[in-house]
Structure 1
């Protein structure tokens, strides 16, 4: 069986071009919550922890353990659910120090609570100082959403959000909440800002 590549198999979820409506199903994630500027050290640590856990699962067969239902796959991209704290909501500009986030990496369906505990133990052995207390294994269903691909700097995202809002008004849809999700298709450490690809997504309701 060939390796499962999310970029090829799940283009609708991860590689939209122009704004589109999508029903996002229930999926399993390793998640971690935090707050503050994404350019800070704690944010970087959270990202490293999530990737460490995800690769611990992915590499299990190399350690001589193949979980039931395991298949070869590419680790899913990092995602972030973004909000502002109360102070940040009062400002008429974006102050990144007031951001509140939940970072996550999707896991294949075969991942169980036992495998999550295995991943935690693996990361703990490699990095005893890693703060793993905040990590959760949870199922999340986003439901009806509008999404689009944003190409360029994260600071230019408002332009793409405008296109998404326009799409909503043309299709009898209303944004359901101020929060939004970002899916990081590009690795920001290796990609020039102008070429960064980020899926932007927010929940919507249908206007009757």
Structure 2
């Protein structure tokens, strides 16, 4: 039987909730541009290659291993005008697609659950790259602590996230917090296997108390 996902991967549609995200081990790839482009697709393949390699290395050593966790992504822009548009998205004055996708920056990653550690993950990065047969994107091994965050579940296509993003930010304000850091998405659905209207994505944003 497949083990249940950790509590932080559970969210309800249209209901904003707070979650305290602990220090985590990541395999990640940084990039820029349209997520429908080849760079993001290559990053996803590399991350799953490393994650499944790490899973089977641990299983060989310990006899068992936790499940491979979902793909996640951080999204931001460095361009000031584009950032202003993203800010307007959060209050419902613009749509995500109003920002030129060529300006988008992203970090795609998969959390590596304990008892996986940095050494075994680094070994998996080398092994997965050798197996790929061609130079894959550079997969980084790091630790990251997002801390207190707000999240909700979006059901539907990625192109229709704007109302859910607005609801998330309205909920953050209603709870007495303000956003900090970068927009975070957790992909519970696989677009290669699910109809767009059935995709499930957790939208998350780190927060801090107002004042």
Q: TM-score range by the shorter chain?
A: 0.7 to 0.9
* 1:169 Cα offset (Å): 2.1
Please, what TM-score do these two structures have when normalized by structure 2? 0.85
Count of residues in Structure 1 that have an aligned counterpart in Structure 2: 197
Q: Distance in 2 between matches of 1:114 and 1:54?
A: 13
> Which residue of structure 1 lines up, in the alignment, with residue 187 of structure 2?
184
Is the Cα contact below 8 Å between 1:3 and 1:71 reproduced in 2? Answer: no
CA RMSD of aligned residues (A): 2.0
Matched, 1:46 2:43: yes
Matched, 1:89 2:83: yes
1:150-165 matches, within 5 Å, as 150-165=154-169
Q: Distance in 1 between matches of 2:28 and 2:46?
A: 10
Return the match for 1:167 from 166, 171, 176. 171
Please, what TM-score do these two structures have when normalized by structure 1? 0.87
* 1:61 Cα offset (Å): 5.8
Identify if the C-alpha distance between structure 1 residues 113 and 81 changes in structure 2 by more than 3 Å, giving closer, same or farther. Answer: same
Which segments of 5 or more consecutive residues in structure 1 lack a partner in the other structure?
A: none
* 1:90 Cα offset (Å): 5.9
| SS class of match (2:129) | helix
Q: Distance in 2 between matches of 1:123 and 1:169?
A: 43
Deviations 1:170-195 (A, max 9, x none): 21111124x20000000111111111
1:1-208 matches, within 5 Å, as 4-6=3-5, 10=6, 12-17=7-12, 18-60=15-57, 65-67=60-62, 71-86=64-79, 88-89=82-83, 93-132=98-137, 134-177=138-181, 179-208=182-211
Which segments of 5 or more consecutive residues in structure 2 lack a partner in the other structure?
A: 86-93
| SS class of match (2:144) | strand
Q: Distance in 1 between matches of 2:50 and 2:171?
A: 37
* 1:73 Cα offset (Å): 2.2
| SS class of match (1:143) | strand
